[in-house]
Every structure is written in C-alpha cells, then in structure tokens.
Structure 1
Amino acid sequence: MNFKKLTLYSSVFAIQGLSNAVIPVLPELAGGGSGDSTVSNLLFSGYFMGAFLSLVPLGILADRIGNLKVIVFGVLLTAFSGVLIFSSDSLWILGISRFLEGVGCGAFFPAAFSMLAGWKDSQRSLGEFNFLLNAGLAAGVFFSGVLAVQGIKTAIGIFTLLAGLSCIFLLSGTKELLSSDRKKERFVLSNSENSVKNEPDTSLLSELKSHLKSARKIIFKSNFGKIWGISVILYGSTGLLTANYPDYSAGFLTKPELGLAISASYLAAMLSSLTAGRADINSENIVKAGVILAAAGIFLSVKIPILAFILIGAGGGAAVVGLITAVSRISSSGFAMGLFNTGIYAGLGLGPVFGSFFLKPFGYESVFFGSALVLLAIFFVKLE
C-alpha cells in the first residue's frame, strides 16, 4: 500500500472510530443516572450538526485551496476534539467538542473523496475507503463497549491517539501528497468554469451563494427533494434509536453487549451495500426494501437487540445505495452528492433532538414505534 492510501485510510478509520466511541457511554458522559435523555441526545447530535453545517462550505473551500490542506485541518480538528472529550467532564466542553469533531468530519470527507476520485484506481480505492469507513464505525462502538470496564473514556483515548498518528503521517508526507493534490487541482483549473484561475475575483461567499442557487434548482425542479427528505427520515429514525438505546438498554444489556449490538449494524451495512450494488433491481425498490428492513429492526429493538441492529444496518446500507443511484440520475456532480449527504447528517443530528421532546410524555418504546411508523410512510413515496 502506498503512502497516500495509508494516510487517508488510517485517517478515515480513526475519525469514524472516534465519532462512534462515545455512543455506548453517552449516559455516563451526560451525567450518569440523571435520567434526562436530552443531554445524551445533544451530545450525540452535536457531531452530526457540525458535519451538516460544514460539509458544503468546506467542500467548496477544498476546491479552491486544495484537498490536502482541508484534509489536514479536518484530521487536526478531530484529534483536538478527541483530546478535549477525553480530558474534560464539563458538559459545555463536551458539547462544543462534539460539534467541532463534526466540523472536522465535514472538512475531511469532501476533500478525501475528491482526492480519491482523481486516482487511477479510483473505483477500487473508493471501495476500500468505504469499507474502512464502516469498519471504523463498528470498531468505535465495539471497543467502547468492551473497554468500558477499564474506563468510560478508554476507547475515546485510543481513537484520539490514532487520529493524532494520522496527523503525523499527513504532516510528514506533505510534499508527496501535495504533488498529487496539485495534479488534481491543475485538472480542475483547466476544465472548470468556476475555477479560481478563470474567476480570480470570485469570493468564497459568492461561490457559496452560487452553489445554493444551484441547490434550490435541483431540489425544486426534480425528485431530489424527495430523496433528500427520505434520507432525513431514514437516518433521523435510526439515529433516534441509536442515540437513546444506551439509556433504554441500561437495565438489560452490559456495555460489551451494547457495543456488539450496535457494531453489528455497521457490519450488516457493509454487506447489504455490496449486495444492493450488484442486485438487478431499480433504485426505488432497493430503497423500499431497505426501509422495510430498518423499520422491522426498530420494532424488534425492544425484544431482540442484536437482530434489531443487524436489520437496521442492512436496511440503511441497502437504502443508501438506492438513494445515491437515484441522485446520480439527476446529477452526478460532487456538489449534488455533497448536498445529498447533508440530508443524512441532518437526520442524524435533528432526529434525536426532535425525538427527545416526546420521550418523557410517551416513553422510549412508544417513541421508537412512532419513528418506525413514520419511516414506513416512505414506502408510498414515488422516486421514479
């Protein structure tokens, strides 16, 4: 494996592992047995709101100043946030750190995908990258649960260290990586109407406004708005369950069991996304099949946790393949894909917060079932 791949692959594994290492220990980070799930939901959602708000502007910035600079910024911010989470018990610092960690994610992914897309073996590299992305998510929750007996923040410390090592790899190989990044930039500059070379006076703010106008056209003059809404509901429903399950399952699951159950969802997502990608089925039916599996998992979560999370992961992994395929028929541009991803992060960020308003009056199980019913409503939406 060459140095460029090593740096990106190690970085995505560390970033995703750290983001999920907090999930099994959310109740403890939020104050232990306070009984208030709102703080847990805010700590869970802060990361995704940071990513949601930064994904598009930092993706545009990466096009202007180069992928590597934004990637380094993203990994550094992730490592810094990890240090703050590991070393502090202040809820304010934890909340701000989770938000900053999400901004680091929003910086890293658009630039990393852009760099990968410029390589000769881009398809293979993207597959390997996405495999490690899901592997990091699975490892984060699994090791956080298993190592909780050694200390609530043990896994957080380990993945923070990995993120720090990734920073060292990136900084030590800056010359080599800059060389490949400049080649990509020269290609973009010579072929893009909106490049810095062709429009030297264009500010980042005006470019962002231009992209927002394009987004409005895509959303209101195509099925993109439906696709975006489906991604919000899908990930909002599953995010609501994931954020609240540590509190809900405290009486019948140990931390290692909880980590195993949640990590199983990411392993299932890896397998189902591969299967859906090779299936000779139209995108709408893939999405519907994924929705049914995810909703069934939410229903079963009150009785059979591991099977429930396997179904949720399998459903989400299949559905996202169908959704991306549907988006590509409207526009295959990086901007359109980035805009689609904001729907995922919006769901993960807002779903748990919105659901927390209903937990006290109705209880966990009623809210879980309600979110599953909302999710099933997607079955009646026409995409094609």
Structure 2
Amino acid sequence: MPMNFRKPTLYSSVFALQGLSNAVIPVLPELAGNSGSSAISTLIFSGYFMGALLTLVPLGILADRIGNLKMLRFGMLLTAFTGSFIAFSDNLWILGISRFLEGVGCGAFFPAAFSIIAEWEDSQQSLGEFNFLLNAGLAAGVLFSGLLAGFGIKTAIISFTFLAFLFCILLISEAGEQLVPNRIGKKFTLPENRNPTRNQQDLPLLHEIRSCLEKTIESLLKTDLGKILGITILLYGATGLITANYADYSAGFLTKPELGLAISASYLAAMLSSLIAGRIAVNSKNIVKAGIVLASAGIFLSVKLPLLAFFLMGTGGGTAVVGLIMAVSRISSSGFAMGIFNTGIYAGLGLGPIFGSFFLEPFGYETVFLGSAFVLLATLFVELE
C-alpha cells in the first residue's frame, strides 16, 4: 500500500476519536438528566480527561512492548464501544464510567499514533497534519453536536460513534497492517536510563513505570519542566473550566447551535494560531505570555461575548502551546519530556473543572470564571529560562 494511503487511515481515526470526545459538551446538561447539578456535568466532562491522564504513560510503555498497531486498535475499539454506551444509555453511572474508559482509549491511542508517525519519512509534516485533523475533530464534535441537537440530543454522539466503528474496521483491515513497518514503538523509551547491555523490553513493566516516575520527579525539580507543567495545567484548567460549565451557564441565552458554534470557534482559532505562532520569529517566553494574555482576555469576555470569548481562548491556547513545546524542547526533545507535557494538558482539562466546581455553588459562574482568569494571569510572573 502506498504511503499516501496510510495518512487517511490514521487521520480519519483521530478525527472520529476527537469528534466523539467533544460531542458531549453542548449537551452536558441533558446528559446529566437536567438535574441542575454542575458537579454531575463536570464529572461527565472530566471523566474523559482523567482516564487519559492516568493511562497515557503506562499504556505508552505497554505500546513499546506489544506494538503500536495493537495499542492503536485497542484505543480505537475502546472508544467506539464506550461511544455506543454513551449514545444509548441514560444511566449516570454508565455515562461516567464510559467517559472514563473513553479517556483510557485516548491514552492508548495517542502515544502509539505519535510513535507511528515518528517513523514515517515525512514525520514533521505528518505531525502537523495530524494535529490539524485532531483539532478539526474537536471543532466538528461540538459544532455538529449543537447543530444536530434539534434532531435528538445524542444525534452527533451516535454519528461519531458510527464513524469510530467504521474507522476501527479500517485499522483492523490490511490498511492498518501497512501503518507500521516496525511494530515496536519509541515514544516512551527512556534512553538516558537504559542499560546498554539489557534491552528495555526485558525489564518488568512495573519497573519501567517506576523508573519513569523517578525520572519525572527529578526532571521537574532540576529543570524548568516543573514551571512549564504548572503553566500548562493552569492554562488548560482555566479554559477547561469554562468549556465544561458553559452549557449550564449559557442555557438561558444561547441555543444549542449557537453554543456549538461558539465552542468550535476555539478549536478553529487554535488551529490557525498554532500555524502562525510556529512561523514567527519570536522567543518562546514571549509567545507563551502572549497566549496567556489572549486566553485570559477570552475568559473575561465569556460572561458577555461568548463567540469572541471562545475565539480568543482558542487563539491564546494555540499560541501558548507552541511556546510551551519550544520551551520543553530546549530542555529535552525526547518523547519522555513531551509525554510529561501532554500529561499536564490532560491534568488541566481533567482537574480544572473538578476543582472549579467546588466554588460554583457558593460564588456563582461569573465570579469563578473571572477568578480563573486572574489565576491564569498570575503565571505571567513565572520566569522561564
């Protein structure tokens, strides 16, 4: 199979996976049974990110052992099956567990996918294309969920679940077999700590995970990686808090299509700003600061101008993430360092909405939203080398 057919196989999978993950956002109150409890909506939203957060590193290490393609298929299959439970069940326990397991599917999919792309000859270009389709899936998920809500609250969820099953079959077919010329992944190897006389795969999996955790702590304490991780968590925690709760907050003044359009604008803005920030000759510290200011401005405007607010949050997030990745790469360009960075993203998206939900009832949405913007702005005082 020619190389140009590998890309649609992988790209279509990440588009469906991300679309399904975000299709729940505009309909969170309805999925929570219109209970009026922001905590239930938050848990349904954050369950996905907690599942990914807890499994990215261990499943990345496991992919090194059993092969990227097997882990890729597992992640896509788990995503499709959990999507069907979300689509056809109204039980809150099933919804919560399904979202968590959907996140586990994400944790299995992405380390394997990035390792596969890293082995391609045009890996740099392909990574850009892959991330573009990743954000396109996120945007499509919220947009179509809002637009199709009139036909049924779960119409978009059902549609993306169907796509997930379709592309899962594609991965299992001969098309999937051609993705990986070498079945051993590379993303989560730790070359700095590897004994040259002993292959990493001969080590027990738990020992590898423990070594990874020890190295993580050492890197966080001795380099700027800890500061970068903190900024990443606060950035994605603040924007995730707004996204998770905006369906409840805006119920009185936004329709579902309008909500889907507003949130999807953030992903479209992130796609564009990432491309622009990656091509301008500005040092990473200033790029990060510009992104933080833009994202904070978007949060401030979220109480009055939702479309502009989400556009600015997406622009700020897309800009800042380029600077943060550049800052990480100056410390280390290894998959290990990038793995820590990605864990920070999911930690923010998973924990930010949960932490913020404790303040919603006593203080209200607008106070918590504005407070998160001030917390994010405080990161401007963090100095990166």
TM above 0.5: yes
Distance 1:344 1:200, change over 3 A: closer
Question: Structure 1 CA distance, aligned partners of 2:15 and 2:200?
Answer: 37
Query: Counterpart of 2:117 in structure 1: which amino acid?
Result: L
Deviation at 1:176, TM superposition (A): 3.2
Matches within 5 A, 1:161-180: 161-173=162-174, 176-177=177-178, 180=181
Question: Structure 1 CA distance, aligned partners of 2:203 and 2:132?
Answer: 37
Indicate the residue corresponding to 1:124 in structure 2.
Answer: 125
**Identity of aligned pairs, percent?**
72
Say if 2:116 and 2:179, in contact at 8 Å, map to a contact too. no
TM-score normalised by the chain length of structure 1: 0.96
Distance 1:190 1:182, change over 3 A: farther
Indicate the residue corresponding to 1:28 in structure 2.
Answer: 30
Deviation at 1:271, TM superposition (A): 0.7
Question: Structure 2 CA distance, aligned partners of 1:45 and 1:276?
Answer: 28
| Higher mean C-alpha deviation, range 200-209 or range 45-54 | 200-209
Query: Counterpart of 2:378 in structure 1: which amino acid?
Result: A
Indicate the residue corresponding to 1:249 in structure 2.
Answer: 250
Instruction: Give CA-to-partner distance per residue, 1:193-216, whole Å, 9 cap, x none.
Output: 469972554111101111111111
Structure 1: state its 5+ residue gaps.
none
Instruction: Give CA-to-partner distance per residue, 1:131-167, whole Å, 9 cap, x none.
Output: 1000000000000000000000000001001110111
Say if 1:144 and 1:156, in contact at 8 Å, map to a contact too. yes
Matches within 5 A, 1:141-152: 141-152=142-153
Indicate the residue corresponding to 1:357 in structure 2.
Answer: 358
Deviation at 1:316, TM superposition (A): 0.2
Distance 1:8 1:122, change over 3 A: same
Question: Structure 1 CA distance, aligned partners of 2:129 and 2:79?
Answer: 21
Question: Structure 1 CA distance, aligned partners of 2:197 and 2:22?
Answer: 37
Question: Structure 2 CA distance, aligned partners of 1:62 and 1:98?
Answer: 22
Query: Counterpart of 2:82 in structure 1: which amino acid?
Result: S
Q: Within the alignment, does 1:332 sit opposite 2:333 as a pair?
A: yes
Query: Counterpart of 1:137 in structure 2: which amino acid?
Result: L
Indicate the residue corresponding to 1:157 in structure 2.
Answer: 158
Indicate the residue corresponding to 1:63 in structure 2.
Answer: 64
Instruction: Give CA-to-partner distance per residue, 1:310-333, whole Å, 9 cap, x none.
Output: 000000000000101000111111
Say if 1:64 and 1:196, in contact at 8 Å, map to a contact too. no
Q: Within the alignment, does 1:78 sit opposite 2:79 as a pair?
A: yes
- Partner SS, residue 130 of structure 2: helix
Query: Counterpart of 2:339 in structure 1: which amino acid?
Result: G
Say if 1:295 and 1:376, in contact at 8 Å, map to a contact too. yes
Query: Counterpart of 2:292 in structure 1: which amino acid?
Result: V
Indicate the residue corresponding to 2:100 in structure 1.
Answer: 99
Indicate the residue corresponding to 1:297 in structure 2.
Answer: 298
Indicate the residue corresponding to 2:41 in structure 1.
Answer: 40
TM-score normalised by the chain length of structure 2: 0.95
Q: 1:8 aligns with which of 3, 10, 16?
A: 10
Deviation at 1:177, TM superposition (A): 2.8
Deviation at 1:66, TM superposition (A): 1.0
Instruction: Give CA-to-partner distance per residue, 1:344-380, whole Å, 9 cap, x none.
Output: 1011001111111111111000000000000000111
Query: Counterpart of 1:41 in structure 2: which amino acid?
Result: T
Query: Counterpart of 2:12 in structure 1: which amino acid?
Result: S
Deviation at 1:190, TM superposition (A): 12
Question: Structure 1 CA distance, aligned partners of 2:193 and 2:377?
Answer: 42
Question: Structure 1 CA distance, aligned partners of 2:196 and 2:357?
Answer: 44
Say if 1:196 and 1:202, in contact at 8 Å, map to a contact too. no
Say if 1:189 and 1:197, in contact at 8 Å, map to a contact too. no
Indicate the residue corresponding to 2:377 in structure 1.
Answer: 376
Say if 1:236 and 1:350, in contact at 8 Å, map to a contact too. yes
Say if 2:294 and 2:316, in contact at 8 Å, map to a contact too. yes
- Partner SS, residue 369 of structure 2: helix
Indicate the residue corresponding to 1:216 in structure 2.
Answer: 217
Say if 2:190 and 2:336, in contact at 8 Å, map to a contact too. no
- Partner SS, residue 252 of structure 1: coil
| Higher mean C-alpha deviation, range 282-291 or range 3-12 | 3-12
Q: Within the alignment, does 1:348 sit opposite 2:349 as a pair?
A: yes
Distance 1:367 1:192, change over 3 A: closer
- Partner SS, residue 178 of structure 2: helix
Distance 1:53 1:179, change over 3 A: closer
Query: Counterpart of 1:10 in structure 2: which amino acid?
Result: S
Say if 1:68 and 1:181, in contact at 8 Å, map to a contact too. no
Say if 2:9 and 2:175, in contact at 8 Å, map to a contact too. no
Deviation at 1:36, TM superposition (A): 1.1
Query: Counterpart of 1:118 in structure 2: which amino acid?
Result: E
Deviation at 1:63, TM superposition (A): 1.3
